[in-house]
Amino acid sequence: MSTIKVDTVQSTGGSTVALTGIMTAKYFVHYVQGTPAVNKSLNSSSVTDASTGHFTLNYTSAFDDANYGLNSGLGQNTDDADSDRGGHSIGFENGGTVNTTSAQLNYLYGASQGSASIDNDTISFHTLYGDLA
Amino acid sequence: MSTLKTNTLTGTTSAGSILVTGEGGSTTTNLQQGLAKAWISFNGGVSTPVAIDSFGTSTLTDNGTGDYSQTLTNAMGNANYVHSGSAGVNDGSGSAISLRNYGYNTARTQSTTVYNINNSYDNNNAINSYNVSIVHGDLA
């Protein structure tokens, strides 16, 4: 067995190094929208609570372009009885801003045609993949 | 081009922290924090849901319709870790696919070793689904 101890890995030219088979997440956040509060994060400078069900993820290190990927999970923090746990959806806000340093998201609750923005008691998880600047 | 071959990478200042340069060359990101600590793809629509493929997970518990608990092989540092994913149902209904959701049931407690997944549609209908789930955060 061999162990390499190092603090920073760079290519010989000083830029990114190929880590074969590894694609790391460049951002994640555990966000409680009702408070609001960030419980755990990577590369998050803040989450801005814009209005009910609307919030903006802000990044410490920028992406190199706005074509990064979002993977989310969501749910109710409390009051999550079987009769009250369906119809949630979340994602980049339709018509909202997605740029290299931030993205607007919208949390909806309700049946598909009658969805309303919501923020009470909602926890959501967001992970971003792509290239950093 | 140079290639470094090793079985283990460890930080010198902090064993669990290594920075890698971002793709554009002007930022850095933490290698360990960016790594997925577990992932699983499973079919929740069979009588005993099992992993199709997985990493870092052990027991998958079926609590009821659209209600699952996933145990992690290695404990996380605290319960505030992230699990994100997607869900779907191949039931031939076509138009209903957009209603499938991936969420989590906090009527059950998320701990350092167990997290929970709910699948539902419309306002109040639990449903068994295929799920892909990815865990990020700090290991213990």
DSSP state of B62: E
Tens of pLDDT, residues A70-127 = 988 876 555 444 444 555 677 888 888 999 999 998 877 655 545 667 665 677 889 9
Q: Considering only CB atoms, which chain B residues are within 8 Å of A77? A: 106
Mean pLDDT for B22-27 is: 89
* CA-based nearest residue in chain A for residue B106: A77
Mutation pick from B13, B17, B98, B104 vs chain A, by most beta carbons of A within 10 Å, is: B104
The answer to whether the CB atoms of B7 and A10 lie below 8 A apart is no
Question: With b meaning 16 or more CB within 10 Å and e meaning fewer, what string describes A16-46?
Answer: bbeeeeeebbbbbbbbbbeeeeebbbbbbee
pTM score of the predicted model: 0.84
The DSSP secondary structure of chain A, one letter per residue, reads --EEE-SEE--TTSS----TT----SEEEEEETTTTEEEEEESEEEEEEEETTEEEEEESS-BSSS--EEEEEEEESS---GGGS--EEEEEPTT--B-SSEEEEEEEESSTTS-EE--TTEEEEEEEES-B-
Out of B27, B98, B103, name the one closest to residue A132 (CB): B27
pLDDT at B96: 43
Whether the upstream peptide bond of residue A36 has omega within 30° of 0, thus cis, is yes
C-alpha to C-alpha distance for B62 and B5, rounded to whole angstroms: 42
pLDDT at B103: 65
Residue B45 lies in a domain: yes
Q: Is the dihedral of CA A37, B135, B68, B80 positive or negative?
A: negative
Tens of pLDDT, residues A12-33 = 887 777 777 778 999 999 998 8
* CA-based nearest residue in chain B for residue A38: B80
The answer to whether the CB atoms of B29 and A80 lie below 8 A apart is no
Mean pLDDT for B76-102 is: 69
Mean pLDDT for B52-71 is: 92
Q: Considering only CB atoms, which chain A residues are within 8 Å of B78? A: 40
A43: left (phi over 0), alpha (psi -120 to 50) or beta: left
Mean of per-residue pLDDT scores for chain A: 81
Domain around B112: 36-136
pLDDT at B87: 81
Residue B16 lies in a domain: no
First-to-last alpha carbon distance for chain A, in angstroms, is 35
pLDDT at A19: 77
Quickly state the pLDDT bin for B136 (edges 50, 70, 90). very high
Residue B89 lies in a domain: yes
Mean pLDDT for B2-17 is: 90
Q: Where are the domains of chain A?
A: 27-129
Domain count for chain B, please give it: 1
pLDDT at B100: 44
Q: What are the backbone dihedrals phi and psi of residue B71, each rounded to the nearest 5 degrees, phi first?
A: -95, 140
The alpha carbon of residue A41 is apart from the nearest alpha carbon of chain B, in Å, by 8
The answer to whether the CB atoms of A73 and B4 lie below 8 A apart is no
Q: Considering only CB atoms, which chain B residues are within 8 Å of A74? A: 101-104
Q: Which of A35-49, B94-108, B125-139 has the highest mean pLDDT?
A: A35-49
Q: Considering only CB atoms, which chain A residues are within 8 Å of B13? A: 7
pLDDT at B102 over 80: no
- Cα–Cα distance list, B71 to A124, B4, B75 (Å): 20, 35, 9
Quickly state the pLDDT bin for B114 (edges 50, 70, 90). very high
Q: Which of A73-77, A110-114, B92-96, B134-138 has the highest mean pLDDT?
A: B134-138
